[in-house]
Amino acid sequence: MSPSIKNPPAEAEPDVAGIMPGDEADDDDIETSEEQAGPELDAQWDGWNSETQGLSGAELIQALVKRLPNSPGVYRMMNAAGDVLYVGKARSLKKRVTSYALGRGHTNRIAHMVRETASMEFVVTRTEIEALLLEANLIKRLRPRFNVLMRDDKSFPYILLTGDHPAPGIFKHRGARSRKGDYFGPFASAGAVGRTINALQRAFLLRSCTDSVFESRTRPCLLYQIKRCSAPCTGEISAPDYLDLVSEAKDFLSGRSQKVKTEISQAMQRAAEAMDYEHAAVYRDRLSALSHVQSHQGINPQSVDEADVFAIHQDGGQSCVEVFFFRTGQNWGNRAYFPKADSSIESAEVLGAFLAQFYDDKPCPRLVLLSHAVEEQELLAQALSTRAGHKVTVSVPARGEKKDLVAHALQNAREALGRRLAETSTQAILLDGLAQTFGLPAAPRRIEVYDNSHIMGASAVGAMIVVGPEGFTKNQYRKFNIRSETITPGDDLGMMREVMERRFSRLLREQGMPGETPVEAETGVESDEAMPAWPDLILIDGGQGQMSAVRAILEELGLGGKVTAIGVAKGVDRDAGRERFFVSGREAFTLPPRDPILYFIQRLRDEAHRFAIGTHRARRKKELVKNPLDEIGGIGPARKRALLHHFGTAKAVSRAALSDLRAVEGVSESLAKQIYDHFHDNG
């Protein structure tokens, strides 16, 4: 196999310079000048030549070392199947990769990784900072098996004060900051944002309705009546006075809360002295709402205006990183993370790898406080400063209020990990018991539970929940809107067949046939994600009929014997505790009334039922409020809005004459005819 140039990752578009096919180059040929280099990287090279063909493990690495430069960069180690095993960065690629070839002082994890390595790829960068940033990006994107990995990478919610409307609104925001306005955050959870917005509405009386609702109001809504909005939509407050409220809200969220409270207190005092007690009461309620916000923020430091606090605790082979967010001198919540890491990796190394991935796509404050000193701490601070566009300080406080903040975060990390270990221990016992009860070869790592919900066949949905060693995995839940028009309304067997066919046909397309994904006993590193794609067990809410339908679909897809399915039928008189279980090759049976496994299965079934009912209700509600205009082709949001603004309601549109429809801006003659024909049967 001859050497070749690989395309750089999508994140960068450098001018690539590397080893061309047939070249026998030395280190100088690999490096490029700064003038040749692109904005981030110099070159990407896979290192192959005739000398490395057929080699693997330490022998392969020794052969590659001869051609590596003493330059910073990123390397990838891959197995024979092309799966990325590990992504690392180095100040000197030659020195770092040489350490793998020596074979001395390696942990079991590193030794196993080296043995599995069948190929390597290298990216030469101009600086070590660029290498660190690229390494974090690649780890998050490729999720290599031997790296420390963030499990939960959900974006954080923010509070948005809009800036593209004469009467700004206050909203919860998550995702790209594409809308004009002021963003305040991050907050640790959507619940924290919701509680803060509710209190701010009472304090500043800002609107939370959409712009379309704002434009269509003719009288104040209920929020005005309960004193949570000043109703700028109908002119109950003048535009300048409303903008004053918006300015006060910005001041409060920007950390000038004492100034705002002082001004409101003075206004209350003036109103009381003028015997305007009604307005004095309004100011009193606003002060109370502001106090409520601050009283629910826990620790509010005096000497820290903007910082993220990270503390890590390890126990039982697991790690917990607790993160606290402080902005404008206020505590905006905390969140616990449980990164995937080998038990042999020390706390400082886990924390350092976690930080680089954490800030890969999140804004970074000016101060980051840590419980442990991480390797290359100054380099990390420089990399975060480069990404954030402002100076970032990373430190481990030794005294004072900052040390107290870290200690508080560390205590929370200990407690969160303790709760998780207790839960996973109980869960592991239950999964082992489930395997023994139903004769499974091993404790299941992924259980899928299915249920259907409908009312006389209407708004029919199927639901799937997922549970594993760490409990319910809600980001894996799926819903299935029943689409088939051949299913008789209320046909539970037909609905279950459709759900099974859609679910497992897609799994086959995306994952191929189910295979073994064992845990490597030697290293303790899982050979795949903790939650595999294929289920070890599926539970069906139903009896023999449902199980026959499920088994028929699995047989058609070639999965008979590869996926274990168990039916859970409600007992006599639908009593909980008298469920009958249907397993292939066995007579239907029941479990003792107080069996822990029975309680466990009941809990799984109840969760599936809850999710199915909730999904069904959401679909039914959506269909109840569905606008008839949505059924007409060619009518998008803009034309729909124009029609409703012109006629007021969809019912008025349905009664409109053809000439009236043509008068609406954006509605052509042909579209007007289409709308008219939709509502009038001319046959």
Each residue's pLDDT tens digit, 196-252: 888 888 888 899 988 888 888 888 989 998 888 999 999 899 999 899 889 888 888
Q: What is the mean pLDDT of residues 496-501?
A: 87
Among 392, 372, 370, which Cα is nearest to 383's? 392
Break the chain into its structural domains and give their ranges: 27-142, 158-295, 307-419, 447-516+529-622, 628-679
Amino acid (1-letter code) at residue 409:
A
pLDDT for residue 682: 53
pLDDT for residue 29: 33
Decide if pLDDT at 360 tops 50: yes
pLDDT for residue 627: 67
SS3 213: helix
pLDDT for residue 552: 87
Decide if pLDDT at 278 tops 90: no
Decide if pLDDT at 372 tops 90: yes
pLDDT for residue 350: 92
Among 87, 82, 72, 90, which Cα is nearest to 32's? 72
Report the share of the chain in percent with pLDDT over 90. Answer: 20
Question: How many Å apart are CA 617 and CA 626, to the nearest integer?
Answer: 14
Q: What is the mean pLDDT of residues 650-677?
A: 84
pLDDT digits 0-9 by tens, 577-616: 678 898 888 888 888 888 889 989 988 988 998 988 888 7
Question: How many Å apart are CA 309 and CA 334, to the nearest integer?
Answer: 9
C-beta separation of 61 from 119 below 8 A: no
pLDDT for residue 573: 57
460 Rama class: left (phi>0) / alpha (psi -120 to 50) / beta = beta
H/E/C letters for each residue in 118-158?
A: CEEEEEEECCHHHHHHHHHHHHHHHCCCCCCECCCCCCCCE
What is the Cα Rg of the chain in Å? 31
Least confident interval from 12-21, 421-430, 460-469: 12-21
State yes or no: cis peptide before 186, omega within 30 of 0. Answer: yes
Least confident interval from 168-172, 185-189, 551-555: 185-189
Strand partners, 453: 461
Buried b (16+ CB within 10 A) or exposed e, 616-626: beebeeeeeee
Superfamily for 307-419?
A: UvrC, RNAse H endonuclease domain (3.30.420.340)
pLDDT digits 0-9 by tens, 394-453: 999 998 889 999 999 999 999 999 888 888 888 889 999 999 999 888 899 999 999 888
Retrieve residue 336's tokens. 């616990």
How high does pLDDT run on average in the chain?
80
pLDDT for residue 373: 92
Question: How many Å apart are CA 529 and CA 474, to the nearest integer?
Answer: 16
Decide if pLDDT at 115 tops 80: yes
CA angle 162, 168, 174 (to 5 degrees): 30
- H or E element that contains 462: strand 458-468
CATH of 628-679, one of 1.10.150.20, 3.40.710.10, 2.40.160.20, 3.40.50.720: 1.10.150.20
Amino acid (1-letter code) at residue 411:
Q
- H or E element that contains 492: helix 492-511
Residue-by-residue DSSP string for 217-272: -SS--HHHHTTS---GGGTSS-HHHHHHHHHHHHHHHTT-HHHHHHHHHHHHHHHH
Q: Please count the other Cβ atoms lying within 10 Å of the Cβ belonging to residue 316.
A: 13
pLDDT for residue 619: 75
Q: Which residue has the tokens 């780890």?
A: 139
SS3 182: strand
pLDDT for residue 51: 61
Question: How many Å apart are CA 181 and CA 186, to the nearest integer?
Answer: 15
Among 472, 467, 462, 473, which Cα is nearest to 434's? 467
Report the DSSP pairing between strands 318-327 and 330-337.
antiparallel
Retrieve residue 422's tokens. 């207790």
Superfamily for 27-142?
A: GIY-YIG endonuclease (3.40.1440.10)
Question: How many Å apart are CA 202 and CA 361, to the nearest integer?
Answer: 33
State the sign of the Cα–Cα–Cα–Cα dihedral 242, 244, 247, 253. negative
C-beta separation of 294 from 257 below 8 A: yes
CATH number of 447-516+529-622: 3.30.420.340
Domains 307-419 and 447-516+529-622 share a fold: yes
Decide if pLDDT at 457 tops 60: no
Question: How many Å apart are CA 570 and CA 541, to the nearest integer?
Answer: 8
pLDDT for residue 348: 92
Retrieve residue 252's tokens. 């409060």
Decide if pLDDT at 38 tops 50: no
State pTM to two decimals.
0.68
C-beta separation of 51 from 9 below 8 A: no
Strand partners, 121: 76
Retrieve residue 223's tokens. 């929020």
C-beta separation of 148 from 87 below 8 A: no
Selection from 103-112, 149-158, 557-566 with the highest mean pLDDT: 557-566
Burial (CB count within 10 angstroms: exposed 0-12, middle 13-18, buried 19+), residue 535:
buried
pLDDT for residue 14: 33
SS3 310: strand
Question: Any idea what DSSP says for residue 340?
Answer: B
- H or E element that contains 113: helix 108-116
Q: What is the mean pLDDT of residues 114-135?
A: 90
Decide if pLDDT at 679 tops 60: yes
Question: How many Å apart are CA 50 and CA 2, to the nearest integer?
Answer: 6
